[in-house]
Amino acid sequence: MTTATAKRPAAGRRAESRARLRNILDKPHLPLLLTCLTLVLIGVLMILSASSVQAYSRFGTSFSYFKRQMVGVVIGLAAMAVMARSDYRRLRPLARPLLGACVLMLVAVIAPGIGATRGGSSRWLVIGPLSIQPSEMTKLALIIFVAMVLESKGVKIRDPRELAVPVLPMTGLVALLVIAQPDLGTTIILGGSVLIMLFLAGGRLPHVGLLAAGGLVSVVVLSFTRSYRRDRVFSFLDPWADPLNTGYQVIQGQIALGSGGFFGLGLGASRQKWSYVPNAHTDFIFAIIGEELGLAGTLTVLILFIFLMYLGIRVARQAPDRFGMLLAGGITGVIGMQALINMGAISGLLPITGVPLPLISFGSSSLILTMASVGILLSVAKQGKRTNFKPGAGPRNTKAVVKG
């Protein structure tokens, strides 16, 4: 047997493997589902570890938060399955009533005697054993509404008046209600998701840039309107200026993140979760991941989110219509911004804003709505087609598409 003959089977197998990989990536619903479920699995394992001390102290059992999160996982899986099996186009006529219901709930949250206040913020509606966070529902409802509006405008989106109405007034109303809770982090994500969708819809870059600049100025101003926000800004700039007060959470989080080395102390072996890191199972769970799983664990989570964003962008590019493209782009933008803001704050690159790490942090409202959003991505992905769409290129001729 000659060398060339011996090499041919191996080369054929490699070519077959590459073709199989391309086939999987061309139909991103399977890797999208697996990536989402992997992040959820990491989340429930880390919540069991990070919350065990606080759960035992408050409820007498280390499994309290874990059990509650598992209920959220089951509901989230059901929501994701329903959305994935449904035609995403059915969301179009529901856009206005969904957003209207969310606005009413946001009003109820800040109304005296109705909303539940925790940690100085009124963000929850408590109905019997259920605790609902309307701002999480509003993220998805606003994306659906903006996608519906921008789809209907078509090429008129390049006119600044068409760009602004009714998207900006409705976004402004929702932002005012969320900031009144107060919740600056969610307000930033809401505004950022709308800007992404305006760009994807074909809004002129100077117009979108002007809106982004205005939003940035508003965030800076709002950051100094309350004392705790000012403290967060100053602790970001120099946490050691007040290490036992305003800088305490930042310092303890970075100690946890940096003390794990490359492979970490081991799952369940965190020292910082013993009442050193506040909110260890919610906003600061990424720090506990760094301590217990080390750099390898944090890089794994980071790579999974990057891959999830890549898949979301592919779904948007291959969407069969403009509504699906805008939906996929908005959902991908929200998940990506949340992950970036959370991990950036834990690593000291951004100020703390109280934004949870999607699919991983404790919190049923966030988990269920994020999984439902991924279900919509799956619905768009299953019907997607290969196109030459480029972000910011404006409306496409959806008739000129070729099946992938």
Which residue has better confidence, 315 or 129?
315
Confidence grade of residue 152 (pLDDT, cut at 50, 70, 90) = confident
Q: Residues 76-89: what's their mean pLDDT?
A: 95
3-state secondary structure of 63: coil
Q: What is the structure's pLDDT at 326?
A: 95
Secondary structure E strands in 76-173: 116-118, 121-127, 130-132
Whether pLDDT at 396 is above 70:
no
Whether pLDDT at 239 is above 50:
yes
Per-domain residue ranges for the chain? Answer: 34-382
Q: What is the structure's pLDDT at 388?
A: 42
Contact 152, 120 (CB under 8 A): no
Per-residue pLDDT tens for 16-58?
A: 666 665 665 566 688 999 999 999 999 999 999 999 999 998 8
Whether pLDDT at 401 is above 50:
no
pTM: 0.88
Per-residue pLDDT tens for 162-182?
A: 777 888 999 999 999 999 888
Whether pLDDT at 315 is above 60:
yes
